C-alpha cells in the first residue's frame, strides 16, 4: 500500500516538473498537443468537404489572422492541424480514426465548435492539462436549470479501466475543462455557469447530444500504474 502511495506522488511530481521544465527552457513558446480547457471562442463551421475517408472542416473565427499553417488548435477537444488559411477562415482535416472516436463527423455548417490554441508556457494554466486526444464520446442524458446555472449529465461506455472520473476531479467535455460532480461508474455531472454557457457551445447541447470526453491525464497515469502494481502483487 505504501508503494502505491509513493508511485502516485512520484507520478504527479514527474508530470508537473516535466511541464514546468519546458517552461524554463522556452517560456515564450506554445506546447503542441497541450491545452488548458479554457475555450477562446465558439466559432461557426463554414464548410465541410469530404475527401475519401477524411473530411476538411473550414472554420471562421476572430483569431484566424494569428494562426500559422501547421499550428495545432483544439476543436471540441480534438487537436487538429491548420492546413489552409483564406481571409478570415482556416481549414483543418480530420481523418477516419478521429471521426470514428469523436463527434466531429456529426458537424454541419453553422454548428458552433469550441476552439482553443495550444497553451503558452508563459501563461497561467487556468483549467487542467488537456492533451487534445479524446478518449471517447458520451451522450447528454439530462439538462436542468438551477437558478442561473445549468447541470448536465453525461453517460458513456468505458473502453478502458482508465476511463474514470472522481468527485471534484477534472474532465474535458467538448474541450471545456470542468469539475466533475455526482461521479459514477458510467456517468458524471457538471455544473455550467452563465459565462461558460454563453461563450462555449454548451448552449447547443441538449438531451441526446453527443460530446467528446477526455479524462484527466494524471488520473489515467495513476490508475494504470496502480493496476499494474496490484496485478504484480496478485502474482
SS (H, E, C) the chain: CHHHHHHHHHHHHHHHHHHHHHHHHCCCCEECCCECCCCCEEEEEEEEEEECCEEEEEEECCCHHHCCCCCEEEECCEEEEEEEEECCEEEEEECHHHHHHCCHHHCCCCCEEEEEECEECCCCCCCCCECCCCCEEEEEEEEEEECCEEEEEEECCCCCCCCCCCCCCEEEECCEEEEEECCCCCEEEEEECHHHHHHCHHHHCCCCCEEEEEECHHHHHHHHHHHHHHHHHHC
Which range among 126-130, 162-166, 226-230 shows the weakest confidence by mean pLDDT?
126-130
Return the domain boundaries, the chain.
Answer: 136-227
pLDDT band at 207 (very low <50, low <70, confident <90, very high): very high
List Cα–Cα distances, 116 to 64, 80, 234, in angstroms: 12, 11, 44
- Give the global pTM: 0.84
By the 8 A CB rule, do 125 and 119 touch?
yes
136-227: CATH topology is Elongation Factor Tu (Ef-tu); domain 3 (2.40.30)
Q: Residue 228 has what pLDDT?
A: 77
* Predicted local distance difference test score (pLDDT) of residue 234: 65
pLDDT category of residue 19 using cuts at 50, 70 and 90: very low
Give me the pLDDT at residue 25, please: 41
| Per-residue pLDDT tens over the stretch 34-46 | 898 999 999 999 9
Average pLDDT of the residues in 222-228: 77
The whole-angstrom separation of Cα 226 and Cα 218 is: 12
Cβ atoms of 174 and 114 within 8 Å: the answer is yes
Is the distance from CB of 57 to CB of 44 less than 8 angstroms?
A: no
pLDDT tens track for 128-142: 678 889 999 999 999
Lowest-pLDDT choice from 62-66, 125-129, 160-164: 125-129
Examine the pLDDT at 110 and tell me if it is beyond 80. Answer: yes
What average pLDDT score do residues 182-198 get?
Answer: 96
Amino acid at each position: 500500500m505504501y508503494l502505491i502511495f509513493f508511485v502516485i506522488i512520484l507520478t504527479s511530481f514527474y508530470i508537473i516538473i516535466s511541464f514546468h521544465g519546458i517552461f524554463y527552457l522556452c517560456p515564450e513558446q506554445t506546447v503542441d498537443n497541450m491545452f488548458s480547457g479554457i475555450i477562446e471562442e465558439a466559432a461557426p463551421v463554414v464548410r465541410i468537404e469530404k475527401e475519401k475517408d477524411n473530411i476538411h472542416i473550414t472554420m471562421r473565427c476572430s483569431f484566424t489572422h494569428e494562426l500559422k499553417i501547421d499550428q495545432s488548435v483544439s476543436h471540441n477537444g480534438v487537436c487538429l492541424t491548420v492546413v489552409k488559411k483564406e481571409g478570415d477562415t482556416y481549414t483543418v482535416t480530420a481523418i477516419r480514426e478521429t471521426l470514428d472516436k469523436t463527434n466531429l463527423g456529426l458537424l454541419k455548417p453553422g454548428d458552433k465548435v469550441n476552439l482553443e490554441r495550444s497553451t503558452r508556457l508563459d501563461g497561467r494554466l487556468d483549467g487542467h492539462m488537456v492533451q487534445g486526444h479524446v478518449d471517447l464520446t458520451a451522450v447528454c442524458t439530462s439538462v436542468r436549470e438551477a437558478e442561473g446555472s445549468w447541470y448536465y449529465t453525461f453517460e458513456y461506455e468505458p473502453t478502458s479501466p482508465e476511463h474514470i472520473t472522481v468527485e471534484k476531479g477534472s474532465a474535458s467535455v467538448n474541450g471545456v475543462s470542468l469539475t466533475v460532480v455526482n461521479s459514477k461508474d458510467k456517468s458524471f455531472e457538471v455544473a455550467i455557469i452563465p459565462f461558460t454557457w454563453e461563450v462555449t457551445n454548451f448552449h447547443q447541447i441538449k438531451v441526446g447530444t453527443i460530446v467528446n470526453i477526455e479524462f484527466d491525464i494524471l488520473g489515467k497515469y495513476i490508475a494504470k500504474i496502480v493496476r499494474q502494481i496490484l496485478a504484480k502483487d496478485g502474482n
